[in-house]
A = this chain, B = another copy of it.
Amino acid sequence: MGRRVSSDLSGRSIRVGLDVGGTKTDAVAVDADGDIVARVRRPTGWGDEAVIASILDSVTALAEEGGFASSELRSVGVGIPGLVEPATGRVLHAVNLGVESLDIPGRAGSVLRVPIAVENDVKAAALGAAALRGDGASMAYLNLGTGVAAGIVTDGRIWRGVHGTAGEVGHLSVDPAGRLCGCGQRGCVETLCGGGALAKAWGRPGALPVRDIFEAAESGDPHALALRSDLARGAAAAVRILVLSVDVETVVIGGGLTALGDRLHTDIVDALRREAEGSAFMRSLRLDERIELLPVGSPAAALGAALVGASEHAPVPDKEIVPHG
């Protein structure tokens, strides 16, 4: 993979997208038609060196899986859970990866010799989810993971806002008497429907606390029932906020908590309907029909990262780059 990529018109044109998550990296290779021609999933390492190694190993594995040559690789896009400096692609505060500040374009680009674009994972997943829907309608991707945030796509592009805080609905308070949020405010959407906040409120050990909450709720445990209700209320609040501020057509819900599947979907639909019962205005918005759950195993996030890479016009590094900073 170390050769400089030339414009090889006889070969395919491959765009790679990587969703670098806290535990695994999901990688896809996309051809010029936008079709996924290869996909691999590998564990993500911890810390700067291991994250770079995960990225490079994933590209190598993809090339083997998809049978493409390094000369056919045109770009790599990386979606990552952290703050991404728009100008440099440097990742800051990716706490789930043990990364404080990492120049992925410089580090990985000097080896792969193709343009590397980096994007926040939720924004990348939003772009991928919109591409998978394919109807061009505006949408928001609401990520229910450890934390809660949304990515907004209009006219096929990520809506960033002025300072990149567009879609940060997780830290809007919807209950002044609610639980204290990790952000320091009280009653944030994330305190209701973030996996981290729910696990903390549940307070019992377990590998999959939110699944445990749902199981205990099904046995009638009152604390679990309350938390299950909170999850639906918080997600419903986020959906309302997205529709009554940006007014997207559809809210696609993804993230780790969507492993709960139909039970989660039903709960959120019920919450939206119940909370609209007394309001002709809210009923007229038909919010219960405007949400979708991203299927478990969807390649949306990695596909979105590939699209981010394909849309970037970053210079191709042709020599070793000394990481700055």
Residues on A lying within 8 angstroms of B by beta carbon are 137-138, 159-169, 171-177, 181, 183-185, 237, 240-249, 275, 277-282, 285
Contacts and interface: CB of A to CB of B under 8 A. Distances in A.
Nearest to A186: B278
Nearest to A281: B183
B172 A240 contact: yes
B172 A175 contact: no
Contact of A138 (B162, B172, B245, B275): B162
A185 B245 contact: no
Nearest to A170: B244
B282 A245 contact: no
Given A161-B247, A245-B241, A282 B183 contact: yes
A282 B172 contact: no
A159 B246 CA distance: 8
Provide the main secondary structure of the chain A interface.
Answer: loop
A287 B248 CA distance: 25
A153 to B, nearest CB: 12
Contacts of A166: 245-247
A248 B138 contact: no
Contacts of A164: 247
Contacts of A176: 174-175
Nearest to A176: B175
A61 to B, nearest CB: 37
A172 B246 contact: no
Given A168-B244, A241-B245, 20 more contacts: A138-B161, A161-B246, A162-B247, A165-B243, A165-B244, A167-B245, A169-B245, A171-B279, A171-B282, A172-B244, A174-B174, A174-B175, A181-B279, A183-B279, A183-B280, A184-B279, A185-B279, A185-B282, A245-B245, A246-B246
